[in-house]
Amino acid sequence: MPLPSDEDLIRWQQQLEQSLARFADTDLRQATARISHPAVHDAAAAYLIRPSKRLLGMAFLHAAHTLSADADAAPEDLTAIATALEIRHGAILLHDDIVDGDTVRGGHPTAHRALAHSFGAEARSAALFAGDILAGLAPLPLLRSGLPDPLRVRLTDLFQHTTALVAAGQTEQLDLDTRKDALEVTEADILRVHGGQFGPYLLCSLQLAAALAGLDHSDIDRITRAGLPLCQGFQVQNDLAGYTELARVLSNGDTTEGALTLANTSDLARRRRTVPARTALSKLTGPDRDRLVDYFTGAEMDLIDVCALMEKAEVTAYCASLVNDLHAHTRDRITADPGLPAPVRTALSATCTYMTALYDPASPTSRLYLNARPDLQLAS
């Protein structure tokens, strides 16, 4: 099982970027053609073509190649599946931005912010429908692939079922966030919900690669169970990154709306039940804990003070250690599972290691996407 080289990864992402750009200029443009405002197309297209590490698509491509699924599938079919995964991811990110009220993603206006000029008070509704358009179009590259019909049906079944699972998981997060007693929510509760949010999307990348390689339902179920801690770790890592960026901005004394938006204040500002928040609640004592409990149950409190309490609880160190443990748990589950063939265990372990590196901003792997986007090189 030869591991993909950096050159392979860059080439695959270049092919994926080109496929997404074509899709935005063809299928998405056609789907939005009857809308009077061209801004709707542009707002939706931004979620397909903006700079990204393409975690979902690249995880699939890495797994497909290491599992030797590429032996029976043409390169363009693999790119098509990765494209479908990224289109769907764009749809959920667009909807997430509406739910969270975020106005900037990756340095660019979110859809409802971009549509404010054209739609005024109805911008959020217009953005919601733009996300629906992306979600509806997402399976098309997979359905149009040159794979045999039975295989396309199997992959599409996995793909569509995942879409429903994520919607259910996002709803479960809202239920968690609206519980009145902040101390009632445990870390185990939060991790369970995390497994149903971004988790199914990430697992779908592995599931599709496994199905393409001819693994049966039992094997895919084993991979899904083993991969759950990895997905939970990614969500904790994402929540921690949002908190640390906010703390950094606030420590610089910049409390303007633009700076705070770029720092992604939504988790703390909306009092979401995240692992960083729960860690602070569990580690603080006395008046400090009481103040944070009051904040997460609705009391007004300056975000600078909230971050100070979380810093006092040493949230960053704890969550970083938890992420490492969760990622290691998945690798251990895979490598120790006698029910999976040895080559499959080796291949999936390599893909999980790649995914961890891709999501780590300090890793050279995480910056390979810059080589796949010459437009970014020119911009810098």
Neighbours of 209 (CB within 10 A): 30
Q: Which pLDDT does position 196 carry in this prediction?
A: 87
Please tell me which residue, 272 or 290, carries the higher pLDDT value: 290
* Fold type of domain 8-374: Farnesyl Diphosphate Synthase (1.10.600)
Q: What is the pTM of this model?
A: 0.92
How much is the pLDDT for 192? Answer: 92
Q: Is 177 exposed, middle or buried (0-12, 13-18, 19+ CB in 10 A)?
A: middle
Q: Which of 1-10, 151-160, 175-184 is the least confident region?
A: 175-184
Q: What is the pLDDT of residue 258?
A: 53
pLDDT in tens, 78-133: 999 999 999 999 999 999 889 888 887 877 889 999 999 999 999 999 999 999 99
Distance CA 290, CA 287 (A): 5
Helix ranges (DSSP H) in 101-182: 111-114, 116-119, 123-137, 140-143, 149-177
Tell me: pLDDT of 240 over 50: yes
pLDDT, position 70: 74
Angle between helices 55-66 and 75-100 (to 10 degrees): 150
Q: List the domain boundaries for the chain.
A: 8-374
- Of 293, 342, 312, 94, nearest to 185 (Cα)? 293
Look at residue 1 in the predicted model and tell me its pLDDT.
64
